[in-house]
Amino acid sequence: MSSGCSEWNRLNRRSFLKAGGTTLGALAVGDAMFARVASTYAQSTGGTGNLLVLCELAGGLDALSFLAPFTNSVYQNRRPNLGLAADDVTALPDNANYGINNQFQFFSDLYASNELAIVQQVAYPNGNGSHFESQEIFKFGVRNLKATDATNASWYERLRRTYFNEPFGFLDTRSIGNPQNYGYPDSTFRNAAQEAFGRLARMRQGGNATQQAIRETYARIDQLGADLRERTENFTSTGDARGEFYRAAQLASADLGTQIIKLRYGGFDTHASQNDANQNLFPRVNNEFEQFVNDIKALGMWDRTTVVFYTEFGRRNEENGSPGTDHGYGSHMILAGPGVNAGLHGQAVTTADLNERSLPYYVDFRAVFSDCIRNWLGFNPDPIFKVGGETFDEQVGSALFS
């Protein structure tokens, strides 16, 4: 696979240079910034050039509704309304006591084809029940949010700056929105203001370092917009869904040296009527993810893609009267892709775990992301997570990539 990767890089480098030439023609002559910005599209040195897709399931994924210990009577007793029965799940081929919710059928398929790893009971020490704070901990990768400069940027943005400092190294579907519209917001007939924004920034000289930094930012934005628009124009999906995974596939197809794509699905905070909520939510995530995998396969990129699903915390073991589940603690992280070491990881949910108020945690989420950074992207994760004296249990217990 490693030779395939470098071949892929070479090919795309060439196709970019070709596309870059087209872009250059559309710009005013003498735009000094262009050459500098364009030269930064190169793939990172030292890394694998693989793609890591981060899918945040915001609100708190109920791990027991994804992978149900459906044969466990404690599970069924604590969840008279919400417990999944044998009919509701597809039992794991290698462990008949656990089954993936049929609303996540595609995940079961991937599991069967050895392309899905489930890291069970993941969180971070001294769990915080606030969505906001817990999401920030997953975002920044540090527990003590105040203690360190690390909170100036997400861990994935810090990773980009540290190892592949390119303008498009990390893209968030939510901040890009529709890439066909990305750039200076403009209501003129022919994007006159958008074009002027970039031209003025490149044309002006002088000023102090702050002013130059401002103009470089504008030039970068302009370039990013032009490239995103041009290079996503011909993207066609294999399916009809137009959710966040569609955006992620669009961005992946643009081939801008991107190594991390972040996307987010909300709605997992199911305090009430959880069955009704999941009936819509789970199949939607499942189907849009399946479409993404098909799109990525059509782009020839699946071999070098890993998708990681994570959530800020799990939910309570016992259902409430609504019936739903309140904020809990441990939840599962899910890794999908041909490169993952498929199967169950972490600590399987036991009767003792189910008798707790919430699932505890056995694996620190940073250990999982560290494995992704080290063994999938090929970078040292230490400068990313071990900041400001921060320490964590670095053991997942098993290799997540084969």
Rg of the chain over all Cα atoms, to the nearest angstrom:
22
Name the segment binding another protein (CB under 8 A); options: 34-42, 83-91, 187-195, 353-361.
187-195
Of positions 31, 56, 115, 195, contacts another protein by CB under 8 A: 195
Exposed e or buried b per residue across 211-238, where buried means at least 16 C-beta atoms within 10 angstroms of its C-beta: eeeebeebbbbbbbbbbbbbbbeebebb
Instruction: Choose which of 208, 234, 321, 352 interacts with another protein (CB under 8 A).
Output: 208
| Selected binder of another protein within 4, 80, 125, 207 (CB under 8 A) | 207
Residue 18 or 132: which CB sits closer to another protein?
Answer: 132
Contact in structure between 66 and 100 (CB atoms under 8 Å): yes
The answer to the question of residue 151 lying near another protein (CB under 8 A) is: yes
What CA–CA distance (Å, rounded) separates 213 from 207? Answer: 10
Query: Taking contact as CB under 8 A, which single stretch among the options 201-209, 288-296, 310-318, 348-356 is the one that binds another protein?
Result: 201-209
Q: Which of 313, 343, 389 is nearest to 149 (CA)?
A: 389
116 phi and psi angles, rounded to 5 deg: -135, 130
| Region near another protein per CB under 8 A, out of 31-39, 50-58, 112-120, 204-212 | 204-212
Query: In Å, how far are 55, 143, 172, 325 from 176, measured between CA atoms?
Result: 15, 28, 6, 33
CB 74 to another protein: min, Å: 35
* Binding test (CB under 8 A) with another protein, winner from 2, 87, 146, 240: 146
Query: What is the DSSP code (8-state) at residue 150?
Result: G
Q: What is the C-alpha to C-alpha distance for residues 180 and 173, in angstroms, rounded to an integer?
A: 12
Q: How far is residue 247's CA from residue 245's CA, in Å, rounded to a whole number?
A: 5
Q: What secondary structure does DSSP assign to 201-219, as a single string?
A: HHH---S-HHHHHHHHHHH
Site string for another protein, 79-118 (x = CB under 8 A): ----------------------------------------
Q: 104-111: long-range contacts (C-beta < 8 A, 24 or more apart)?
A: 104/66, 104/282, 104/285, 104/286, 105/286, 106/286, 106/287, 106/289, 106/290, 106/293, 107/66, 107/286, 107/289, 107/334, 107/336, 110/293, 110/336, 111/342, 111/343
Q: Is 294 in the site for another protein (CB under 8 A)?
A: no
Determine the interface stretch with another protein among 188-196, 249-257, 318-326, 365-373 (rule: CB under 8 A). Answer: 188-196
Contacts with another protein by CB under 8 A: the residue count is 38
Q: From the list 217, 351, 380, 391, which residue makes contact with another protein (rule: CB under 8 A)?
A: 217
Minimum CB–partner distance for residue 210 and another protein (Å): 5
Pairing of strands 363-364, 116-123: parallel
By CB under 8 A, residue 191 contacts another protein: yes
Binding residue for another protein, selected from 213, 233, 266, 279, defined by CB under 8 A:
213
> Applying CB under 8 A, does 196 fall inside the site for another protein?
yes
Q: Is 204 in the site for another protein (CB under 8 A)?
A: yes
Per CB under 8 A, the segment of 42-50, 67-75, 81-89, 193-201 that binds another protein is 193-201
Binding site for another protein (CB under 8 A): 132, 145-146, 151-152, 175, 183-193, 195-197, 199-201, 203-204, 207-208, 210-215, 217-218, 220-221, 224
